[in-house]
Structure 1
């Protein structure tokens, strides 16, 4: 267990270094490539209820995706993380402007506050069709290296128990985040697919 933990830590450090070396321009360029791939993806097109993360500085930018979800009349959910646990909710976003009403967390991302009890939580209603996943590293077998808090693994576990079943999961990544192999254990849930800019 300890060796797995240290392998994950070492890989996190390595990927963070690669991401820190990327220019903002390059991050935006790759984000646009990934977004375009998503907009043509059959799973995205057929999904009605979609969860998407609001990106941190070292993650694929999801602004265009948010706009597109609303433009197509889909229902959009975003995460609310509870920092003292691995619990996360997926709460409904009413429209793109709604984001500006949310408070900014210590991670410098916006999310609904704990006092925000009016919003629909995806699993208390119709479940989710698709979750767009963040992460630090990914391999082509669907293994994902998160930031170590376990939010998404815990949430996907809850999704499995929902009558609708586990939603399809697509990770959005910079090609710098692709690894030969991500070290995982039994709690780590495989993702269905990773979208990134593939080398021509």
Structure 2
């Protein structure tokens, strides 16, 4: 393990412990504030298809957003471990009647259905859980690389680009962190307390 890898691993461990230490009441309060900030986003209001995630390991919870965006006639999706390419993600439609199952990590996901799937490139907005981030847009994930591999196509020119928004508790922000060449950049990072537009295209609040 290189020094760079060791530093990322240690930071990941510390930030995961920090978010797991939040009480259920603090988590609910943070989730409500996060969703208010997201609903104020112009990109989210303009989107027709939005990928959420099912929170795990203390991740900030975006699920209350589902009811609000469905009232706005938008479609929600959840990531699913790809049945063939197991290190990448599919995105399946989510509504109140969607049958769920647990994946190999114990995280609920929609039952596999090709007819309910949407390719990653066809999504308008993707909300991604973060372990840590900086105000400049550097990010740290869980280390599995699922999102990075799934959205690696964004490095190719002239491809439709979903808006990628990282979500985290404000307490997961750090001043600096080591980055990796394969990290797919965010367009914005949203927390329960702040909004951080980053990248070439800036999601805007209005």
Q: TM-score range by the shorter chain?
A: 0.7 to 0.9
Residue 106 of structure 1 and its aligned partner are, at CA, apart by: 4.2
Give how far 1:17 is off: 1.7
Measure the CA separation in 1 of the matches of 2:168 and 2:19: 11
Q: What residue in structure 2 maps to residue 112 of structure 1? A: 110
User: What is the aligned-residue RMSD (CA, Å)?
Assistant: 2.3
- SS of the aligned residue for 1:179 comes to coil
Contact 2:132 2:140 in 1 (8 A): yes
Whether the 8 Å CA contact 1:52–1:131 is kept in 2: the answer is yes
Q: How many angstroms apart in 2 are the aligned matches of 1:30 and 1:21?
A: 13
**Segments of 4+ moved more than 6 angstroms:** none
TM normalised by structure 1 equals 0.86
TM-score (norm 2): 0.84
Unaligned runs of 5+ in 1: none
Is 1:138 paired with 2:133?
yes
Q: Which structure 2 residues correspond to residues 39-118 of structure 1 after superposition, within 5 A?
A: 39-82=39-82, 85-93=86-94, 95-98=95-98, 101-114=99-112, 116-118=113-115
Instruction: Name the residue aligned to 2:197.
Output: none
Return the alpha-carbon distance in structure 2 between the equivalents of residues 58 and 73 of structure 1: 29
1:178 lines up with 2:173 in the alignment: yes
Higher helix share: 1
Structure 2, unaligned stretches of length 5 or more? 195-206
